[in-house]
Amino acid sequence: MQDLLYFLQQLINGLTIGSTYALIAIGYTMVYGIIGMINFAHGEIYMIGAYTALIAITGLAALGIAWLPLILIVALVCAMIVSSSMGWAVERVAYRPVRGRHRLIPLISAIGMSIFLQNYVHLAQGSRNIGFPALIEGGFRFGSEDSFQTSISYMQITIFATTLICMSLLSLFISRSRIGRACRAVSQDLGMASLLGIDTNRIISATFVIGAALAAVAGLLLGMYYGSIDPLFGFIAGLKAFTAAVLGGIGSIPGAMLGGLILGVAESMTSGYLSGEYKDVVSFGLLILILLFKPTGLLGKPEVEKI
Amino acid sequence: MAAHNLKHALFCAIVTLIVAYPILGFNLVSSGTDIILEGATTQTVISVLLAAVVVFLFQLFRDNIMALLGKAPALNPLANRQPMEQSKRLKLESTILTLIIIGALFWPFFVSRGSVDLATLVLIYIMLALGLNVVVGLAGLLDLGYVAFYAVGAYTFALLSQYYGVSFWFALPIGALLAALFGLVLGFPVLRLRGDYLAIVTLGFGEIIRILLNNMTSLTGGPNGIGGIPDPTLFGMEFGRRVKEEGNTSFHETFGIAYSSEHKIIFLYLIALVLAVFTALVIRRLMRMPVGRAWEALREDEIAARSLGLSRTSVKLSAFTIGAFFAGFAGTVFASKQGFISPESFVFLESAIVLAIVVLGGMGSQLGVILAAIAVTILPELAREFSEYRMLIFGAAMVLMMVWRPQGLMPMRRIHIELEKQE
């Protein structure tokens, strides 16, 4: 019984982290699906989202507003606006001019952008980590009083619910809306889509904006969950999310969700049963293994090389 | 000026404000357990506004500005010059390189201790960059975990000296070969992957190595690192004031000169110089050998190269292994120079710096990479008051370079024959 409760706790923690990875992974997978490049700066956009949310929360507190839903909504909207603008600007400045060149060139440009954004925030906000207030406290507990108790905090429930809402909205958007349909068309065949009158530049920008907005949501959620942020925390989270995207099959949106959840659970099981220090080793090891044995991921389509 | 332009310019200006203002305009300050928000100085606010205005004006008159720039006389007077003849160019390049090496041999005897120390670091970066140049520049494999091989070299020497008392000269080849072995073992499975997947896998590998070094506390000392790494000796002569190991003599006693701590620094510099020259010469040779040609062929067109019978795996693997070998070399010298190493010296940023050197110098070009390594290491030392902007400028330079001059400042010129235009 005790073991089962412990296992359940790790599973809950894993799914919580995993669902935020999935939110970030969407940005990688959509961009890769459309223009075939790894947006290395995506982790930094997520980090900027978290910073903006924290700035908004502190600002509202300074104004004396204490009604929780209002604070959360304002922080979320601010973070999404700033991150999406950032995503749009990054694409415009660093990726559009090099689109269509040799594969390595956009990638190096993206690494440069990632270093730039890290240091931009570092210079503006300092390198020390800053505490993020835990706005949502408390939770449920299971199990008897005198032994191990499994707990689900309200924060974890909020993370699940928000992720679920975002993913459903995204699926609806991609399958029903005009821009969503255009996105799918562009990801199938960019040249053909532009021949049929789709403004491909606009669609690519839209992809970056959507991915950045979801990353901002993840930034707010993870900032509250972990309780502190620093300018470098986007880098590892970005790598993890990329791993999730590859795990599920890059280019596939359901794949990103699945990959995120699997990665999150694998990580929390490692820290629960082995040691917390090795959880990064496990996720990178998983990435290497997946790429070696099933490069298309769990739900991805094989890529045919055209001559 | 169309209304469309005005709308676009306004949009760009607003985006600039949104991107810059929240992050630059408010500072989060921790005070005790609370965080408070402080407004930035008026100066920052004004510069953000100014930036938005500049973006607005630029986007508004973009067509006119671009037309003006197109008409303006070329800023670069060398742009229209005929390329130098190949034989002449090669000769000039070798002359310059020889002169640099001769200068570098005598230079440390006339300058301060600090600059010799810095020059040793520059030489280590040159070794690293030349090695990575083989992998990225010649073979076109983006390796983002290059620093892992550097770490393998450094830790091999540190561990061998700590547990078995192995000296620098024995550890040097062992470290390099072990790094090459790591490259071989990692490269064998992953080199089948496409370019950007390879980049991520090598990045993951670099992180794994660093995390392992950090956590295997009983062996590597974890985050505390390993200290007391011995200095290199010259034919059994030590450079300390007193001889540490039995059977050795000390340099200043043998030659009957007064002890000076500068001897050791200069000696290390000379070792680094010799190894850097060795690296450059070996790679220069390799570039002209069939294997070097094969690297480039595979980079330019993989399908065509394979259809001509090149084995993709072995060609890529050779580049990867040779790159790792020289990283191990550089790592051993680094461990010896510092006398102390910890996982903190082997973070991803280090890989990114070496990559930036290769990219800025011009992928594939040896002279370009050497000059870029010198510039990237020395410029931040010269402009110390801007040192915190160093990485910011790095990132921006990488992006701008890719946008405007992806071939680098000094692109590699391949030996080629130009066909004359037939009438």
- DSSP per-residue codes, B133-149: IIIIIIT----S-HHHH
Instruction: Give B36 or A254, the one with higher predicted confidence.
Output: A254
CB contact under 8 A, B15 and A88: yes
As a whole number, mean pLDDT of residues B42-48 equals 83
For B407, the closest chain A residue by CA position comes to: A105
**In Å, how far is A147's CA from the nearest CA of chain B?**
31
pLDDT digit string, tens, across residues B154-169 = 999 998 888 887 888 8
| pTM score above 0.90 | no
Cα(B130)–Cα(B97) distance, rounded to whole angstroms?
Answer: 14
Say if B211 is an interface residue toward chain A (CB within 8 Å).
Answer: yes
B 292-331: CB under 8 A from A: 303
- Tell me which of B89-98, B256-265, B317-326, B346-355 is least confident: B256-265
For B190, the closest chain A residue by CA position comes to: A292
Of the residues A119, A233, A306, the best mutation for testing chain B's interface (the one with the most B CB atoms within 10 Å of its CB) is: A119
A218: which residues sit within 8 A by CB, 6+ positions away? A20, A21, A23, A24, A46, A49, A237
A164: which residues sit within 8 A by CB, 6+ positions away? A19
Residue B240: predicted pLDDT: 65
**In Å, how far is B173's CA from the nearest CA of chain A?**
29
Q: Grade residue A77 by pLDDT with cuts at 50, 70 and 90.
A: very high
CB contact under 8 A, A111 and B355: yes
Distances in Å between the Cα of A117 and the Cα atoms of A54, B215, B233 are 17, 29, 45
For A92, the closest chain B residue by CA position comes to: B12
Alpha helices in chain A (DSSP H): 2-35, 42-63, 68-90, 104-125, 154-176, 178-188, 190-195, 200-226, 233-248, 253-273, 279-293
CB contact under 8 A, B355 and A287: no
pLDDT value at A293 more than 70: yes
Which residue in this structure is represented by tokens 């905090």? A153
Q: Which residues of A touch B406 (CB under 8 A)?
A: 98, 101-102, 105
pLDDT digit string, tens, across residues B375-412 = 888 887 777 777 778 888 888 888 888 888 877 777 77
Cα(A29)–Cα(A209) distance, rounded to whole angstroms?
Answer: 13
Q: CATH fold of B89-404, please? A: ABC transporter involved in vitamin B12 uptake, BtuC (1.10.3470)
Query: By percentage, how much of chain B surpasses pLDDT 90?
Result: 14
Q: Grade residue B82 by pLDDT with cuts at 50, 70 and 90.
A: low
pLDDT value at B110 more than 60: yes
As a whole number, mean pLDDT of residues B129-134 equals 92
As a whole number, mean pLDDT of residues A278-301 equals 81
- Domains of chain B, by residue range, sit at 2-70, 89-404
Q: Which residues of A touch B194 (CB under 8 A)?
A: 103
For A120, the closest chain B residue by CA position comes to: B392
Residue B256: predicted pLDDT: 65
Cα(A191)–Cα(A187) distance, rounded to whole angstroms?
Answer: 10
A147: which residues sit within 8 A by CB, 6+ positions away? A2, A5
Residue B413: predicted pLDDT: 66
Q: Which of B24, B33, B398 is closest, CB to CB, to A109?
A: B398
pLDDT digit string, tens, across residues A41-56 = 999 999 999 999 999 9
Q: Which of A103, A281, A292 is closest, CB to CB, to B195?
A: A103
Residue B155: predicted pLDDT: 92
pLDDT value at A204 more than 60: yes
pLDDT digit string, tens, across residues A206-245 = 999 999 999 999 999 998 888 888 888 888 888 888 888 8
Residue A150: predicted pLDDT: 78
